[in-house]
Structure 1
């Protein structure tokens, strides 16, 4: 769609996903063993024939910049691009991005030279497959100034989302951000006509939550950003627009999830291991694109396995995997067990990965050490797990931290480049 330009918001400090965002931005966090979160919205755009894409970044953007620059290269005879725009100081403005809307405001001059008829605004930390051309049809047929993608959600999910009051014609009448009481949502439930039109059969999904996906007419976005000093789309721009412009809803009934917290991120990765996952990467017509690493096939010997995904370049020797997601270049040594865990793998091989070399100055080698036992964990890249380490299942309300690790909502997260010494118990 040559009339559309996509803007992917790289996110703020990523506090909800910390410590996975300690050294990287949210969209750069590895998902499903070999992808990055940014690959989801970019792939959606490419499949939707939207090939002019900007990614706005500010915090810990080095790895995201590297991934995008190495992955999304269109040929010299193609007008498409995926460009990174980092926060910058100018003579007129010395502040950094103060929010999602402020990020677009401060970079708007870079987009205007393309003269798109519409802007597509996307989040960089959501998991879903969507053809934005269908949303564009809704936008054009309704004559809307702003179109908001919405997903049917339950009352239990409402306090984490922006909830919209939508009439039977699809026009948005009101908006409430993360309501803390159900009584606030009186009259917000999906009407019978709208439920029938979009075949929303799950009665428990009776509210419409904002997906953080917006289409703005070019002049409307420019006017709202220039006339108001609002900093956030969900909290400020959309509620302001409802009062002044025609704001329409596009109901999306496919799978959608915000993976911006440790719990939702962990659950989404573990769901990939189920027989029928809500979201899967084995979809040839709607592939998720990422960087080619040119790694060899994984080398496995003596493995006991029950539900596992093992990405290329891994080496596993006489270990046991149960409900385990194993990322690129993962080394799992003899006697180790991994259960209900996501091992992200490594960025490089250390020496000869086929040799079980001894520690250097007491520091374990990259990977999972011999006879270690890991349950209910996310192990970030390049972590060094020593021999006989035990990471046990935690209660959902446990939250504490130690050297190289953090427990959040009962999930143990081993930090990137962390060293967990021999025999340690977490």
Structure 2
């Protein structure tokens, strides 16, 4: 049995997902009503029986630590674990990760203690369900030093990825990190390896998914250097004397590392037949067990909507939305195209009495609110008669105090209060 060590790259400050990463690391951002983003790569690894897992991150790690500690507890016979390795200072390095490869190198002394045969590198901000055992089998069959997971893409998409060129066996001869759309890419046409159904969609190039499998000694040797990034430095330099193969994955795969993709991808999960199936019992998405009560809907209409546990929604209309745990939505409210992350707690009767005395809204969404095209972060108080994203108002991206606007999506910040009658 191969001893595969999984390393999940949690990213840096998470600027593309800001302000959702203002108080938490990117892997800890809530996702799909009851999960966190980090649950996706973790579940792929666990479902493939790779249960020795490290998550590398360096910003706002407190909530991520809590989530992993409460969600991923293996029995004493499995030898499995999930551990965070936050950036740390040591005698040999200053601390902060300077790139994907640098993050791995600075923790190599931890990894070597596990005596792995292979290192599996996963990204922490992608949505996919992949049989990583097949990925390993392909790697072993070809006796590869490095195997890159790739997916077919169209010509207009190549600027976002590293693309590869190779022969019919999958052996890689060239790698180009994020080429400009105006470049001559004839040498990278991989139509000869791409399935017909993908070619019919105009996909002729193979893009790196940021998922790598290394022989342990090869990665340790490659990182005995000053390389800081896998795509820009490690992979191109390895082409000189290493056997690199590309493994083609044609299933659903999307980067959820930006506000727009994060928003659109989640709403798509609430459709009748989404491309990514949360209900596949053979490859579940694992997360923390919270032991919350079931959600309760009173005289409420819901359509194309996901809800987490513990919600109470009364006399409302919810369409095309994702409603997170412990969300309270009061009489007469209408939500469409809304991602509401819910709350960390329920308010007590005493707390609600104090709210009335102080003139602040209760936790959740008040009466007769109309909200569209909005992400509502956790523990938010929205008063009665608010109109958010509904009226035809010209909105410019930027910071507006209690909320941000990005890609024309309104983001209400965590722990903020929106007064009754507010129009955004």
TM-score, reference length from structure 2:
0.95
Match of 1:59 in 2: 59
Shift of 1:422: 1.3
CA distance in 2, matches of 1:380, 1:120: 32
CA distance in 1, matches of 2:307, 2:375: 15
Match of 1:238 in 2: 235
CA distance in 2, matches of 1:255, 1:120: 20
Structure 1: where are the runs of 5+ without partners?
none
Secondary structure of the 1:211 match is strand
Match of 1:279 in 2: 276
Cα deviation, 1:153-184, whole Å, max 9, x if unaligned, reads 12232222222223222112222222222434
Q: Structure 1 residues 240 and 112 mapped into 2: Cα distance closer, same or farther (>3 Å)? A: same
Are 1:328 and 2:325 an aligned pair?
yes
CA distance in 2, matches of 1:373, 1:354: 26
Match of 2:153 in 1: 153
Are 1:366 and 2:363 an aligned pair?
yes
Match of 2:204 in 1: 206
Shift of 1:2: 4.4
Shift of 1:201: 4.7
TM-score, reference length from structure 1:
0.95
Secondary structure of the 1:376 match is strand
Shift of 1:190: 1.7
CA distance in 2, matches of 1:239, 1:182: 21
Cα deviation, 1:97-138, whole Å, max 9, x if unaligned, reads 111111110100111122111100111111000111111111
Are 1:414 and 2:396 an aligned pair?
no
Shift of 1:352: 4.2
Secondary structure of the 2:239 match is helix
Q: Structure 1 residues 373 and 200 mapped into 2: Cα distance closer, same or farther (>3 Å)? A: same
Q: Please say if residues 395 and 405 of structure 2, whose CA atoms lie closer than 8 Å, have aligned partners that are also in contact.
A: no
Shift of 1:354: 12
Match of 2:7 in 1: 7
- Identify the match of residue 400 of structure 1 among 394, 398, 404: 398
Secondary structure of the 2:106 match is helix
Match of 1:384 in 2: 381
Secondary structure of the 2:245 match is strand
Total equivalences in the alignment:
423
CA distance in 2, matches of 1:8, 1:353: 43
Are 1:255 and 2:227 an aligned pair?
no
Match of 1:19 in 2: 19
Q: Structure 1 residues 353 and 25 mapped into 2: Cα distance closer, same or farther (>3 Å)? A: farther
Secondary structure of the 1:267 match is helix
Secondary structure of the 1:365 match is coil
CA distance in 2, matches of 1:206, 1:31: 32
Q: Structure 1 residues 114 and 149 mapped into 2: Cα distance closer, same or farther (>3 Å)? A: same
Alignment of 1:126-275 (within 5 A): 126-192=126-192, 194-196=193-195, 200-226=198-224, 228-275=225-272
Q: Please say if residues 331 and 353 of structure 1, whose CA atoms lie closer than 8 Å, have aligned partners that are also in contact.
A: no
